[in-house]
Amino acid sequence: METVFPLTTFSDLGLSQKVLSAVTDAGYTNPTPIQAGAIPPALKHRDILGIAQTGTGKTASFVLPMLTLLEKGRARARMPRTLILEPTRELAAQVAENFEKYGKNHKLNIALLIGGVSFDEQDRKLERGADVLICTPGRLLDHCERGKLLMTGVEILVIDEADRMLDMGFIPDIERIAKLIPFTRQTLFFSATMPPEIQKLADRFLQNPERIEVAPPSSTAKTVTQRIVATHDKDYEKRAVLRDLIRAQTDLKNAIIFCNRKLDVADLFRSLSRHGFSVGALHGDMDQSSRTKMLAGFKDNQITLLVASDVAARGLDIPDVSHVFNFDVPIHAEDYVHRIGRTGRAGRSGAAFTLVNRRDTKYLDAIEKLIGQKIEWLNGDLTELPPPAESYESARPKRERGGRRERDRDRGRRSDGARPDAEKAESPKADSHRHDMKSLDNPVLDETNAKADTVKAERKAQPRGQNTARSANRPAPAPAPANDDHRDRRNRYRRDQDDGPTPVGFGDDIPAFMLIAGKA
């Protein structure tokens, strides 16, 4: 990590001996700019307005002074002494891990109050008396409403990632929580950006704060090879390009694939798993235990590819990855820097590929402006792209297509004639991307299978007459949808069957009754 104040040492900051010894054990030599700027005033009970992103050492900038200040006094039942608010459960869990690490010489009770897990264990911790509460806003309010918490003893309030709290609609909750805490508290407020709404909030919550601003990273590591890859607009075309790209990487150890929307995370995850890749997904709609399991699977190398949204992945301390793929160009240029900062850490080499279609060019321009460099195209720019195929099928040479029946017989056969199992035997790399999805409890897949089962059951329940004029293997033309949800599920099922668009008319599959030879 780059240190701007190399002459400052941790022992200059006023931290206690217990904290300093934990910091030494963590292997840190110098404080980062946000730590050098925030720790001394925080230790003097000043309010802090820290403008810094994750990855700058921000967590230690509030955890270390809090540990020092907490050495005086002790916790009382149901009356926490300090409170940290985090926008996501993962970030809350990560801050709790930081407390364990830096607070290893302290005997503090730390309670993590996050949604998606039972109240019982959390209640027990509160009963014992918590020195530190680390919470997501909703779960904290639930505890307050159940009468299990008294906030009148809170001396320090930390609001972390305030701009994300705003994005996620948590500001009214934060305001409610702040009203429960004495006005005399010390407030440490962090945000990566300062849009006017956040500035207003800071003005309301903070009293004469010390403002520390750390420039957001706007440069990318020189060790990361960045390429942009021209694609057409359709998602199935993008997915095919991505698969080829992944397969072409000889040095891929693990990768994060970023999508802009959580729905696309789920779709891409399904598609990649159907194509035999070792893949997991991380998005905001997954329940907590699935998210934790997924992340652990990726960290332990059980999963090679992790499809993620920015919101789910931001701030997570994921170890170095060899590759980053941007399935979508990020809308905010800073997210690009953040995403590709996942690779090429500590001087190691990394690769970042971004799929770009015609609609993305303005976002690409903003990224290139921010990072102050042009990114090279991998295989020619958008003007060199062949015209879009009318359909997925027509994009392939006719002789490779074969009839539907032939395709069904050779299920899974690729355009080069290889079967997936042949590919597996031939290509150790492709093999390493695969994994037995059943070996990892996979909620995204379970959800997909459940949806497919529902649609299959719906099909079975259809009156027989609706299906008679078509080949047994061909999906029925979609009946008039009962409602939008129904239509959505049906479309999804179609997408699950095939990554390309649904063929129009009979395609290559002419029903047998039409092939009966006429009389000569």
Q: Is 99 in the site for ligand AMP (CB under 6 A)?
A: no
d(Cα 238, Cα 229) in Å, to the nearest integer?
A: 10
* 106 or 495: CB nearest ligand AMP: 106
Between the alpha carbon of residue 140 and those of residues 137, 166, 173, 181, 367, the distances in Å are 5, 17, 9, 13, 38
- Least Å distance between CB 54 and ligand AMP? 4
**What would the x/- binding string for ligand AMP be over residues 2 to 31, using CB under 6 A?**
--------------------------x--x
Nearest approach in angstroms of CB 203 to ligand AMP is 25
- Nearest approach in angstroms of CB 249 to ligand AMP is 26
208 torsion bin: left (phi>0), alpha (psi -120 to 50), beta (else): left
Q: Which is nearer to ligand AMP, 214 or 279 (CB)?
A: 214
Residue 187 binds ligand AMP, judged by CB under 6 A: no
Binding residue (CB under 6 A) for ligand AMP from 1, 263, 469, 478: 1
**CA-based R_g, the chain, Å:** 27
Angstrom distance (rounded) from CA 230 to CA 354: 9
Per CB under 6 A, the list member of 58, 89, 314, 490 interacting with ligand AMP is: 58
> Which segments of 152-261 does DSSP mark as H helices, in order?
162-167, 171-180, 196-205, 235-248
Q: Which stretch binds ligand AMP (CB under 6 A): 56-64, 124-132, 137-145, 447-455?
A: 56-64
Q: Is residue 232 involved in binding ligand AMP (CB under 6 A)?
A: no
How many other C-beta atoms can be found within 10 angstroms of the C-beta atom of residue 507? Answer: 15
Q: Is 60 in the site for ligand AMP (CB under 6 A)?
A: yes
Three-state SS annotation for 99-125: HHHHCCCCCCCEEEECCCCCHHHHHHH
The residue written with tokens 């730390």 in the block is 110
Name the minimum Å distance from CB 356 to ligand AMP: 29
Residues 30-49 that bind ligand AMP (CB under 6 A): 31-32, 35
Q: Tokens at residue 280, please?
A: 């997991």
Q: How far is the CB of 206 from ligand AMP (least distance, A)?
A: 21
Cβ-contact 307, 282 below 8 angstroms: yes
Between CA 43 and CA 57 the distance in angstroms is 17
Shortest Å, Cβ 403 to ligand AMP: 55
120 dihedral zone (left: phi>0; alpha: psi -120 to 50; beta): alpha
Could you give the angle at which helices 17-26 and 89-102 cross, rounded to 10 degrees?
110
Name the minimum Å distance from CB 342 to ligand AMP: 12
**Footprint on residues 300-329 left by ligand AMP (CB under 6 A):** 317
Q: Which is nearer to ligand AMP, 11 or 432 (CB)?
A: 11
As to burial, measured by CB atoms within 10 angstroms (0-12 exposed, 13-18 middle, 19+ buried), residue 396 is middle
CB of 59 vs ligand AMP, minimal distance in Å:
3
Applying the rule CB under 6 A, the residues between 330 and 389 that interact with ligand AMP are none
DSSP classification of residue 73: S
Chain center to CA of 89: 12
56 lies in the site for ligand AMP, by CB under 6 A: yes
Tell me how far, at minimum, the Cβ of 317 lies from ligand AMP, in Å.
Answer: 5
Closer of 61 and 122 to ligand AMP (Cβ): 61
Residue 57 touches ligand AMP, criterion: CB under 6 A: yes
Q: Which residues bind ligand AMP (CB under 6 A)?
A: 1, 28, 31-32, 35, 54-60, 317
